[in-house]
């Protein structure tokens, strides 16, 4: 029994759709990427939109369900408040996380570990009990070590001195 021309056409269109779809597929690999295409962050815009800016160290994390969405809440031990009211701790709510056998993975979402240092630009979330990062995830600026400059950040795509960055942000926090 010979396949009909219509079945052949359907098979051909299915195969073509599969190959074309693969060519335009979204990369959901574990490589961290930014939603804005990996370009530099507009630090003055972050500072302007933020209700709070702090430099802190991650001391704890907990996954919570807010409405029907999973968030990971990180507790920061605040080293310095650059904008907003002074505080000793701050809760940061980041979209994504795991609860039991359910996991919400958001490409580009930072996964912070205890001891990580960050500069955080936050907007009110959850009736001001916690804050979410400004600009999806742009508001979380990790602090790292860089050769020749010591503690550094790279919000603009290149390492820069943490001290210089903090001085800039302090000025932006005072002007807003």
Going along the chain from its start, the domains and CATH numbers come out as: 43-174 (2.40.50.120)
pLDDT of residue 33: 37
Give strand pairing partners of 118.
56, 142
Say which residues have a Cβ less than 8 Å from residue 58's Cβ, sequence separation at least 6: 74, 75, 76, 112, 113, 114, 115, 116, 117, 118
Whether the model clears a pTM of 0.85, i.e. scores above it, the answer is no
How many Cα atoms sit within 13 Å of 33 on the Cβ side?
12
Query: pLDDT at position 136, please?
Result: 83
CA–CA gap between residue 108 and residue 134 (Å, rounded):
14
Kindly state the average pLDDT of the residues 53-66.
94
pLDDT of the residue at 36: 42
For residues 73-79, average pLDDT: 96
pLDDT mean across residues, the chain: 82
For range 117-141, the mean pLDDT: 89
d(CA 91, CA 54): 11
In the prediction, which pLDDT does 8 show? 61
d(CA 156, CA 117): 18
Give me the pLDDT at residue 175, please: 57
């Amino acid at each position: 029994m010979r396949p009909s021309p219509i079945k052949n056409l359907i098979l051909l269109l299915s195969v073509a759709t599969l190959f074309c779809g693969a060519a335009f597929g979204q990369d959901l690999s574990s490589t961290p990427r930014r939603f804005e295409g990996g370009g530099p962050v507009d630090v003055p815009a972050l500072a302007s939109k933020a209700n709070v800016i702090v430099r802190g160290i991650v001391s704890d994390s907990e996954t919570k369900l807010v409405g029907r969405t999973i968030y990971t809440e990180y507790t920061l031990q605040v080293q310095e408040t650059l904008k907003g009211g002074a505080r000793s701790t701050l809760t940061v709510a980041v979209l994504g996380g795991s609860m039991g056998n359910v996991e919400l993975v958001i490409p580009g979402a930072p996964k912070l570990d205890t001891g990580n240092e960050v500069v955080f630009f936050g907007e009110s979330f959850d009736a001001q009990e916690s804050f979410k990062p400004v600009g999806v995830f742009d508001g979380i600026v990790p602090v790292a070590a860089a050769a020749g400059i010591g503690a550094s950040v790279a919000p603009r795509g290149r390492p820069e001195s943490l001290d210089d960055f903090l001085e800039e942000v302090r000025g932006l926090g005072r002007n807003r």
